[in-house]
Amino acid sequence: MMESRRGAAARGWAVQKGGSMKIKKAVITAAAQDQHTLPLQRLVDRHGVPKTVLQLIIEEVVGAGVEEVGVVIQPQDAPAYRQAAGRDAERLVFFEQPAPRGYGHALFLSHKFVAHQPFLHLVGDHLYLSTSEHNCAKQVVDMATAHACAVSGVQATRENRLPYFGAIGGRRVPQYPDLYEVTTVLEKPTPTVAEQELIVGGLRAGYYLCFFGIHVLTPEIFALLSELLAEPDPTHPVNLSLALAALAKRERYLALEVQGSRYNLGMKYGLLIAQLALGLGGQDRDQLLTELLELVALSSVPSCQGGRRA
């Protein structure tokens, strides 16, 4: 812990008594060509209230104690995002990514907003459902403030979903069954590579610790991203996973198995699956189950000739 405090102080972080640190800003990345409209989509939350994905993500970060939210978007998306944020629009600051230089470059655009402080980071194409008394983002924030270091949320994920996520390798932190010291980070590894480089003791065979889409990162991440962005080819995409791999070698970096589930909206049927998860975890569960059973029953009825139901 003393080493963590000294490292934090040397970088000018807002470290509090006992080695904790306050997280007051969040950055949401939503500029990718295939994801920038996802936060604008409308779903029904667990209380039966229609909301945009952006509103649900803002609720997640505000529930973790965040006061200001930066959003990385495509040029000209700001009006649509302000409308989608509703009453929360006043919390938002926008950063436009003028060219598709990758996830890492998108995050780097927020470095002045973050202003040399640890910050919460979420991706704009995921939704999160907690099974704990605290929401998913707060679980990650609480662990980061307790250990005064970067923490990424992770979830044990089947190997057939490795093409959708970055993944980590590491070792369990003593006395913390759901906390890991990160030693390796790989972006969307193949099952063969994951089996060789991302083994974590105690996980079921065929499962790996993949990113949850929620991170608390230290300002050091921007120094590492700056180094990657200095590469001679400006068209080469900069991936955040490369910077996270370097972060694990430069300072203490932990991964927390979050009590909850993340839903990747960019996957096939992603929005549908997220909506089902919200509905089944909310007050309209019984009604939704009834509707689903009726749909299953109808789809199971054999067709007569000519395509009509019997």
Nearest to 39 by CA among 106, 123, 141: 123
pLDDT at 20: 56
Q: Position of tokens 């945009």?
A: 52
Distances (CA, A) of 298 to 42, 121, 133, 288, 301: 27, 43, 38, 15, 5
**Residue 19: pLDDT over 70:** no
- Identify the CA nearest to 129 among candidates 56, 220, 194: 56
Q: Which CATH superfamily is domain 2-307 in?
A: Spore Coat Polysaccharide Biosynthesis Protein SpsA; Chain A (3.90.550.10)
pLDDT digits (tens, 9 = 90+) for 140-157: 999 999 999 999 999 999
Q: Which of 211, 143, 206 lies closest to 177, judged by CA?
A: 143
Structure tokens at 44: 């029904």
Backbone angles phi, psi at 124, to 5 degrees: -85, 0
> From CA 138, how far away is CA 230, in angstroms rounded?
34
pLDDT value, residue 6: 39
Query: Considering the entire predicted model, what is its pTM?
Result: 0.88
Q: Kindly state the tokens that stand for 210.
A: 């993949």
pLDDT (tens digit per residue) in 153-205? 999 999 999 998 999 999 999 999 999 999 999 999 999 999 999 988 888 88
Tell me what the mean pLDDT of segment 281-298 comes to.
89
Euclidean distance between CA atoms 97 and 105, whole angstroms: 8
Which residue, 121, 128, 129, 154, is CA-closest to 23? Answer: 121
pLDDT of 17 reads: 37
Among 19-23, 101-105, 252-256, 265-269, which stretch is predicted with the lowest mean pLDDT?
Answer: 19-23
Confidence check: pLDDT of 282 > 50: yes
Q: How far apart are CA 28 and CA 73, in angstroms?
A: 9
Band of residue 14 on the pLDDT scale cut at 50, 70, 90? very low
E strand spans, the chain: 25-29, 42-44, 50-52, 68-73, 92-96, 119-123, 126-130, 150-158, 166-172, 179-187, 207-217, 253-257, 260-264
Tokens of 291: 């509707």
Per-residue model confidence as pLDDT tens digits over 52-69: 999 999 999 999 999 999
CA distance 9 to 21: 11
* 31-40 confidence digits (pLDDT tens): 998 889 999 9
Lowest mean pLDDT segment, chosen from 5-19, 142-156, 261-275: 5-19
User: How many whole angstroms separate alpha carbon 257 and alpha carbon 46?
Assistant: 23
Sort 174 into a burial class: Cβ within 10 Å, 0-12 / 13-18 / 19+. exposed
Could you tell me if 31 and 74 are in contact, meaning their C-beta atoms sit under 8 angstroms apart?
yes
Token couple for 191: 């099952």
Sign for the CA dihedral angle at 253, 143, 128, 53 comes to: negative
